[in-house]
Amino acid sequence: MTKTPILQFGTSRFLQAHADLFVSQAREEGQEVGPITIVQSSGDASRAARLRAFARPFPVRIEGLINGARVQKTITVGSVARGVSTSQDWAEVARIFVEEAQIVLSNTGDRGFAARDSDHLDAFDQSMSYPAKLTHLLRIRFARGAAPIQIMPMELVPNNGQVLKARVMDLAKADPPGFRTYLDTGVTWVNSLVDRIVSQPIEPVGAVAEPYALWAIEDQPGLIAPCIHPAIQIVPSLDQIEALKLFVLNLSHTFLAERWLWSNGSDGRLVREMMEDLSELARLQALIINEVRPAFVAAGLTDAFDAYLETTLERFANPYLDHRIADIAQNHPQKVARRMGGFLDFAARHGDHGDKPILSRIMMQHRETV
C-alpha cells in the first residue's frame, strides 16, 4: 500500500480543485510531495460512492477569464491514493495518522470546529467534532512515540491554526502534562487563508472551478510547504491578504446583494449579470474607488489594492460562473456588520477619516437588524 504523507479531512469539491489539484500538479513536475489519503469525517453514507471513487484520478475543469481571455480546460488530478471514513475505518485512519502522516489538512465546513456534547467522551465516537477526533488521533500518535506533525486547517476562520490549537488544548486540559507539551511544541499549527470559487461538482468525484486560486500560508519556524505551486504564497502575516479579501471581494459581494435586495430581491440574478449592467458596475466601482481605496492608500497598500481590485472584477465577470446574488444575500445583516462595519473600523485604524456616505448609510439601515 502506498504511503501517504498528507492526510486530508474533508471530501469537498473545494479541496479537490484546490489542495488536491496543487499537489497533483507538483507531483507531475517531479516534486516529492504527497500522495494524499482523504478522510470523510462526517459519516455521511450518501457520499460512499464519492469516497470509493477517490481511488482513481478525477477531473477538475477550469473555466473563466485570465487577463480578459476566456479559458476552459480540464486537468486530471492524480494525487489522491485512497479514501477512508472515520465512521467505517477508524482503525485505518489512526494507523495512517500515526505511521504515515506528516501534514494534516482539513476543510470541514462552516461548523467543523463547533463543539459537540460527545467531544469529552473518553473513547472515540463518530458524532464528535473534528477537533475532538483530531485530539484522539494526536493522543494515539503521542503514545506511539510522539513524532512531530504539522496541522494545516483550511477552514475560513481567522487565525484558523491557532483557533484549532486552542480547541484541542481545551479538550486535552485534563491530559498528562507531557501530552500537552507535545501539542504545544511537537505539533506545528499553521494559519492559512484559501480562496477559489468552485462552482459545481462533477460526479462521482471532480469539480468545476474558476482560474483564480490562492493558498496563503503564514510562515513560522519549522514550516513545511505542502508543495511548491504558483497559487501557494508563504507570507510573514496574513493580515494584508485577509483585509483585501474581506474588504474588497467580500464587501463588494455584499454591496451587490444590497443593491439586489433594494431593487427586487426575489429573482435569480447572477454576479456576472450585474457586472454586465453598466449602471450597477459603475456604482460598485465608485464605491470601491471613492470609499474603500483611500483606506488601503492610508495603510500603504496602494499597489496591492489596485492589483487585487483588477483581479476581483475579472473574477466577478467570469462568463461561465453562475454565482447567484440570492446565495450571497444569505445572512445579509451579519455580513454587512462584518464586512462594511469591519472596513470602517479598518479605515479609522489606519488614519482614513474621509466621508463614507454609501457605506455609512447601509450600516445605519442594518444597525437594528444585527
CATH number of the CATH domain containing 350: 1.10.1040.10
| Inside any domain, residue 312 | yes
The amino acid occupying position 273 is: E
Residue 91 has pLDDT above 60, yes or no: yes
How many C-beta atoms surround the C-beta of residue 229 within 10 A?
A: 20
pLDDT for 269:
92
Among candidate residues 355, 350, 315, 367, the one with its CA nearest the CA of residue 66 = 315
| Inside any domain, residue 1 | no
Residue 264 has pLDDT above 90, yes or no: no
pLDDT for 44:
74
Of 174, 209, 235, the residue at which a domain comes to its end is 235
For 162, residues 6+ apart whose C-beta sits below 8 A from its C-beta are 189, 191
Q: d(Cα 106, Cα 88) in Å, to the nearest integer?
A: 19
Q: d(Cα 105, Cα 15) in Å, to the nearest integer?
A: 10
Asked if residue 325 and residue 189 are part of one domain, the reply reads no
CATH number where 125 lies: 3.40.50.720
- Tens of pLDDT, residue by residue over 223-261, are 999 999 999 999 999 999 999 999 999 999 999 999 999
Mean pLDDT of all residues in 113-127: 91
Q: How many percent of the chain have pLDDT more than 90?
A: 88
pLDDT for 46:
67
Asked if residue 155 and residue 28 are part of one domain, the reply reads yes
| Inside any domain, residue 20 | yes
Of 235, 252, 268, the residue at which a domain comes to its end is 235
Q: How many domains does the chain divide into? A: 2
| Inside any domain, residue 207 | yes
Asked if residue 278 and residue 190 are part of one domain, the reply reads no
Mean pLDDT of all residues in 259-269: 86
| Inside any domain, residue 183 | yes
Mean pLDDT of all residues in 100-120: 89
Asked if residue 347 and residue 227 are part of one domain, the reply reads no
Residue 300 has pLDDT above 80, yes or no: yes
Complete edge-to-edge strand list for the sheet that includes strand 232-235: 192-195, 214-218, 232-235
All cell numbers assigned to 260: 439586489
The amino acid occupying position 248 is: V
Asked if residue 261 and residue 173 are part of one domain, the reply reads no
Asked if residue 131 and residue 29 are part of one domain, the reply reads yes
Strand, coil or helix: what is 147?
coil
All cell numbers assigned to 83: 479514501
Contact 161, 153 (CB under 8 A): yes
Asked if residue 255 and residue 229 are part of one domain, the reply reads no
Residue 175 has pLDDT above 90, yes or no: yes
Of 235, 254, 285, the residue at which a domain comes to its end is 235
> pTM score > 0.85 for this model?
yes
pLDDT for 110:
62
pLDDT band at 368 (very low <50, low <70, confident <90, very high): low
The region of weakest confidence among 41-50, 96-105, 130-139, 301-310 is 41-50
Write down the residue that cell numbers 472596513 correspond to.
Answer: 343
Asked if residue 227 and residue 79 are part of one domain, the reply reads yes
Mean pLDDT of all residues in 316-345: 94
pLDDT band at 114 (very low <50, low <70, confident <90, very high): confident
Residue 370 has pLDDT above 60, yes or no: no
Q: The domain containing residue 253 runs over which residues?
A: 239-366
Asked if residue 149 and residue 60 are part of one domain, the reply reads yes
pLDDT band at 112 (very low <50, low <70, confident <90, very high): confident
Q: d(Cα 96, Cα 223) in Å, to the nearest integer?
A: 21
Instruction: Give bridge partners of residue 74 from the DSSP assignment.
Output: 61
Contact 156, 177 (CB under 8 A): no
Residue 190 has pLDDT above 70, yes or no: yes
Asked if residue 210 and residue 247 are part of one domain, the reply reads no
Contact 18, 64 (CB under 8 A): no
* DSSP, res 203: S
pLDDT for 41:
87
| Inside any domain, residue 166 | yes
pLDDT for 369:
60
Strand, coil or helix: what is 235?
strand
Q: CA-CA-CA-CA torsion for 232, 133, 87, 126, nearest 10 degrees?
A: -130
Asked if residue 228 and residue 80 are part of one domain, the reply reads yes
Return mean pLDDT, the chain.
Answer: 94
| Inside any domain, residue 283 | yes
Asked if residue 140 and residue 95 are part of one domain, the reply reads yes
pLDDT band at 42 (very low <50, low <70, confident <90, very high): confident
The region of weakest confidence among 68-72, 87-91, 198-202, 262-266 is 262-266
